[in-house]
Chain A
Amino acid sequence: MNHDLSLSLQDQVKEAIAKKHTLAIVGGGSKSFLQSAKADAELNLSGHRGVLNYEPGELFISARAGTPLAEIETLLADHRQMLASEPQHFSQGENLATLGGAVACGFSGSRRPFAGSLRDHVLGVNMLNGKGERLQFGGQVMKNVAGFDVSRLMVGARGTLGALLEISVKVMPKPELEQTLLFECPSVHAVKRMSGFVHRSLPLSALAWLEGYLLVRLEGTETAVSAASAQIGGDVAEQSANFWLSLREQTHPFFRRHQPLWRLSVPPAADLPIPENEVFIDWQGGLRWWQTDRSAEYIQTMASKAGGYAYLFRDAGPVIGDSPPTGLLTLHRSLKQSFDPDGLFNPGLMGGQF
């Protein structure tokens, strides 16, 4: 399905400006655990879809923001390519997640420390700002320093700076082979062992820890993967692709406890006193998922003492997500003002602030 709704979307934005209405930007509605914006009207991008340009040899894909992520992934897989940052869908098995939604949330999966984040791979955006202007930033080439890097600023901005219409992202070749090795290991030793693996020039694509096991995912040519596997030992995991998918999409039984889920982004070697059965460690230690009833203050203090930050990722009701750091709040407000002077888009989604 291919639909260009950009003119109608632009009209809706102009109408909202005229009526002094606020707009809630809606994509596929996949990330229902996140609070949606309370606004006067909806700006629905899910019908604005279609791949605009895909040249496998150029290593990029451009698509309208409402294009389902699954459609893009299938197309790339047909050409032995992928979105290297493994953006989460959180669609509960349905293909609701859109490219625009993924970029607006800016989540990246387990390959993040080794292949970069979704933000790293965004090359350009075409967007509507709060004045109803259609703007193009960045482009389709990897190296581009003309003008401020507005495209990457949009990643994780939760649609508060504008509505994304088209996005170009860098794609990478899909590795020939994947193999996951398991090592029994207490969580307290996990991070140190991960760091040891990083120093050994292995074709790593994920280093995680869950339920008593260190998980080492190798990806690359057959030669490289088998050599690395022979070098480090461990038990070969069965059905590892599904396993990683269940971790990425948080459908693994670990995530099914009825407790608040906290996301802690910390320096990878951080030593955090989190009980073993409550944590999933990802990103070579840089990301800790903690299911706990502990107070927000306790968790956030722990993360900030370790040099990182934490926010509530999932709870019984919808959550707000991350918030700007206090010291940068004024700057955040000025930036919001510069793109969306009337506070049109997604009010309250930037940390409940604006």
Chain B
Amino acid sequence: MSLSKTTCAALMTRLGKVLSKHALLHDEEALRPYECDGLSAYRQLPAVVCLPETVEQVQAVLRICDELQVPVVPRGAGTGLSGGALPDHAGVLLVLTKLNRILEIDAPNFCARVEPGVRNLALSEATRPLGLYYAPDPSSQIACSIGGNVAENSGGVHCLKYGLTVHNVLGLKMLTIEGELLDIGGKTLDAPGYDVLALLCGSEGLLGVIVEITVRLLPCPECAQVMVAAFDDVAKAGAAVGNVIAAGIIPAGLEMMDKLAIRAAEDFVHVGYPKHAAAILLCEVDGARVEVPEELQRVRQIMLESGAFEVRIATDEAERALFWKSRKATFPAVGRLSPDYYCMDGTIPRHRLAEVLTRIEALSEQFGLPVANVFHAGDGNLHPLILYDANREGDLTKAEALGACILRLCVAVGGTITGEHGVGIEKLDGMCMQFKSSELSQFLRVKAAFDPQGLLNPGKAVPTLHRCAELGAMHVHRGQVPFPELERF
């Protein structure tokens, strides 16, 4: 359904009264940069883009949309990987990047108040002189905004020890679709009543528009060291992860890359990772200066006992940064191997790691598409990158079918279809695999408790029962799923 001419005219007139000319985009050329987020396979022009600069303006925009019943899609920096900020063609794209002020750094209370458009890394850069930092560090931290992090409950390479966004946010100010400002939590470690804060973290813009965030700041660790352990077998690397955890060590980060990912990263960043390794583990330990070297030695020992053929410890801060740079650059590096890639985000129980990787490899061969694996091994969060060429006919469909098989596999071994990227538009079918209709209905009722008209980010994150029924019907009745000859997990 597109906006009727009258609604569109009324919308533009009323928005024009609250937003300046440059903050209200309507021409196709101006809208074009906003047609997709980090998941570029899905593109859609919105009817209008709003770029408010104040909370009052956001409030006014929401009130107008609520009255005219126009859908609103909130958007941060647009780095999301599940199409959560894909515009609605009959709606307003509410871009929050201009609300980018750090409102307060409250060092005595170990917290900061920020507007949603503040970049993740910018906050830690601002607080570091005070010996404090904001722990969640998604790979996109240079660009991604904290508001977007809250919407997606973003993790990062250090969340094994420091948690996800939900563990590092203390308070939120949120606007309802009606434009009412709600104050949730604050600078305290808990809040009275229901844990609305937890519910909002990762709600993908379906419940409200976040206009201020109070985040927890942690003291910068005195010391951090990283090592790279190389294995000739993925299964050995997987076992090593379990052995480190079982030894009672919680590393600050524990990442794995497989052969293809190593090759890509190495060609791109030239760190000197052993290129012939079947898998490498990157393990960071942080804490007090006296403690770190000892713990690192223990990890090194475990890696060797688990079959690592080489363990390298970064000798200085520069080398540590380089090791991480290579890990964080894996996505763009893989992007150089192939015209397109499709990034998955399932989480599995750690002890099924080796088994799942083997099955992904088999699927990759069956579909004839290479898969590079980089993941947060410590918490079982996989990022298989399916390499394909969008210009080759059928490749995208094949990639999506392979992706669906991988997600089905994650659910089958007791995991989840998304660990940190969110459901967005991309994993709606995956939600049908993971949840029963009664559970999806409960999600929809929660959504309605906040947004009874369903105007906020419609069609994302929670599939309609109708969609799931159709998907089920597709499997059961027609039996004509793509690639029916393939085993599905």
Contact = CB atoms under 8 A, between A and B. Distances in A.
Interface of A: 55-59, 80, 106, 108, 112-113, 116-117, 119-120, 129, 131, 133-137, 139-150, 152-153, 155-157, 161, 172-174, 176, 192, 195, 198-203, 220-221, 223-224, 227-228, 265-269, 283, 286-287, 307-309, 311, 322-325, 327-328, 331-332, 334-335, 337-339, 350-351
B288 interface: yes
B199 A153 contact: yes
Contact of B189 (A80, A113, A322): A113
B195 interface: yes
A328 B196 contact: yes
A267 B442 CA distance: 34
Given A145-B419, A223-B294, A331-B196, A308 B188 contact: yes
B346 to A, nearest CB: 9
B291 A198 contact: no
A224 B291 contact: yes
Interface stretch (B88-96, B119-127, B348-356, B465-473): B348-356
A129 B443 CA distance: 12
Contacts of A283: 189
B192 A324 contact: yes
Contacts of B24: none
B125 to A, nearest CB: 19
Residue from B249, B250, B445 whose CB has the most chain A CB atoms within 10 Å: B445
B364 interface: no
A287 B189 contact: yes
Given A58-B349, A136-B439, A221-B291, A119 B449 contact: no
Interface in B261-301: 287-291, 294-295
Contacts of A173: 248-250
B405 to A, nearest CB: 17
B462 A147 contact: yes
A153 B186 contact: no
Contacts, number: 255
Given A145-B418, A350-B193, 6 more contacts: A148-B203, A149-B166, A268-B189, A269-B109, A337-B449, A338-B446
Interface of B: 106, 108-111, 131, 152-153, 155, 159-160, 163-164, 166-167, 182-184, 186-196, 198-199, 201-203, 207, 219, 221-223, 242, 245-246, 248-250, 287-291, 294-295, 347-351, 376, 379-381, 414-423, 427, 430-431, 434-436, 438-439, 442-443, 445-450, 461-462
Taking each of B196, B242, B288, B446, which has the highest tally of chain A beta carbons within 10 Å of its own beta carbon? B288
B349 A140 contact: yes
A334 B222 CA distance: 46
B237 to A, nearest CB: 15
Interface centre among A58, A155, A173 (most CB of B within 10 A): A58
B294 A56 contact: no
A127 to B, nearest CB: 10
Contacts of B160: 142
Contacts of B347: 141-144
Contact of B351 (A58, A176, A331, A351): A58
A275 B363 CA distance: 68
Contact of B245 (A59, A140, A338): A59
Nearest to B241: A57
Contacts of A135: 436, 438-439, 442
The 6 A-B residue pairs with the shortest CB-CB distance in the complex, in nearest-first order? A324-B193, A173-B248, A201-B222, A152-B198, A143-B419, A334-B449
A331 B447 CA distance: 11
Nearest to A136: B439
Contact of A203 (B287, B380, B430, B450): B287
A287 B189 CA distance: 8
Most chain A CB within a 10 A radius of its CB, from B183, B189, B196, B381: B189
Given A135-B442, A308-B186, A146 B193 contact: no
